[in-house]
Amino acid sequence: MINPAVHAGFGELDLDEAVARLTSPKHGFRLVLEAADPCPRVALVSPGLPEDPWGIFGGHFGQLSTPSPDLLLVGIGAVTELTAESARSLGRLLGARLENRSRLGEITIDLRPLSDGTPPAALVAAFLSGLRRSTDLTCRFAILIDPAMVFDESELDRSIATGDAQWFSASLTDTPSNLLTPSVMAGLSLKIAFALRLPCVVRNEDRLIAEEFGAILAIGEGSVNRPYLVEIGSREPAAVVFVGKGVTFDSGGLSLKGPSDMQGMRYDMAGAAAALAAVAALARCGISDGVRAVFPLVENLPGPGAVKPGDVVRAYDGTRIQIMDADFEGRVVLSDALALAGESQPRAIVSVATLTHQATVALGAEVAAVLSRDAVLGQRLLAVALRAGDPMWPLPWGERYRSQVRLSPTTVRNHPMADQGRAITAALFLGEFVPGDVSFAHIDLGGSVWAGDASTGSATGAAVATLIELGRELAAELY
């Protein structure tokens, strides 16, 4: 039974309220070209600017000062060194300071210093998305921008929607897995689709059996919480389909993880959360044609019926998968979703998943890996990520390792039987289920989805802004 109404997490997240925040276009931000006086004001300050004539404050990145009750100074450092990522961090820092300050009335935030950054509109967008993510919804802001800056109301709305989508994705990922089961997340998807009038198909276990989604079913066999497969978004020919990994808890199955490795595995659905949040944010901004998300929802547990190392299962497209490691489950469930996404022949498919630890070994805990079968799509994805403020870096699409994945024309295996290059072979495995004439790129989120320890840390909302911007661009080219 699908029941989306639960309270979850240390912060008692109400999922109904979360859906309302994600889907409602209302917000308390407005653009202005001159400040009203008097009013509470936030000024961005670089070293040596007039707001700090004596150099006492300094204006260094992340510094905060309140020289008077109605003025807050925020240090931004050298504006020429700002990136979208650092601008978003500043927005979140300010939001945390201003949280629950609605009693102050409207607050003017002077973003004119960002006009000297590169590119200025991207810096403003990133700053506002970070601010929105971290502030109470009752706060009201007048955003003061340079009249010469190309930044209009539609870009303001998209920035706010991006902040809400990042908040939503992170909040879902934070939610304990006993409260965010596959059925709950499937129901949540239906509520979002209803609110935004988006097409949505939720396949339950019976329908997965009837339509022979054998890979998803195999991984879900070990849990009493049965699997689902969700499609949400445009039914028209798609510009792009986002395919997200939605393992709401990953114990490793019969290839059981160690206790410490298992502690944070509620975040193994971050890819699905990002895909869902991105499609919802685009629809909220009036961009629904040509963008769709597909994501499987399963728990990977070692219960009765759990898939065993050495088992062979048949995926949705008929490919046989030899499962050599039950803890390499993400690529298995994604295979069915990718095969389904490819049936409609979209221009591009982008998968997003916490897929391998080796991506983290290669790039560290804060940078996601991009592996693209299509060089043009890969370059575009990285350029969008830079503008959106999501740290990503390319890894090679190493066809030389394909033999570690493909055993025969009809059979693949989920483990390369090698200790090196596993981020590459994982992407190659996924590519086996995407038609060769469809552009395909994969984002291996690695450790970038989480900051802190498994107990008191929190999700980052990684990749959401990138998916939103990429979806907007590709949809605009097709429609």
Q: Which of 314, 327, 334 is nearest to 242 (CA)?
A: 334
309 contacts 324 by C-beta, under 8 angstroms: yes
Cα–Cα distance, 66 to 184 (Å, whole number):
44
Give the active site residue among 97, 101, 140, 257: 257
Q: Which of 116, 110, 123 is nearest to 151 (CA)?
A: 123
Q: What burial letters (b/e) apply to 261-299, b meaning 16+ CB within 10 Å?
A: eeebbbbbbbbbbbbbbbbbbbbbbebbbbbbbbbbbbb
Q: From the CB of residue 154, how many other CB atoms can be counted at a distance below 10 Å?
A: 10
Locate 22 and state its tokens.
Answer: 């994600």
Cα–Cα distance, 411 to 415 (Å, whole number):
13
Cα–Cα distance, 211 to 363 (Å, whole number):
39
Locate 195 and state its tokens.
Answer: 């609110």
222 contacts 253 by C-beta, under 8 angstroms: yes
Q: From the CB of residue 149, how many other CB atoms can be counted at a distance below 10 Å?
A: 18
The answer to whether 314 is a known catalytic residue is no
The length of the chain is: 479
Locate 210 and state its tokens.
Answer: 């009837």
The answer to whether 257 is a known catalytic residue is yes
Give the active site residue among 284, 331, 373, 472: 331
Cα–Cα distance, 435 to 296 (Å, whole number):
19
Q: Which of 349, 350, 380, 385 is nearest to 367 (CA)?
A: 385
Helix (H, G, I), strand (E, B) or coil at 427: helix
64-71, long-range: CB within 8 Å, 24+ apart, which pairs? 64/93, 64/97, 70/38, 70/39, 70/40, 70/41, 71/40, 71/41, 71/42, 71/43
Active site residues: 257, 331
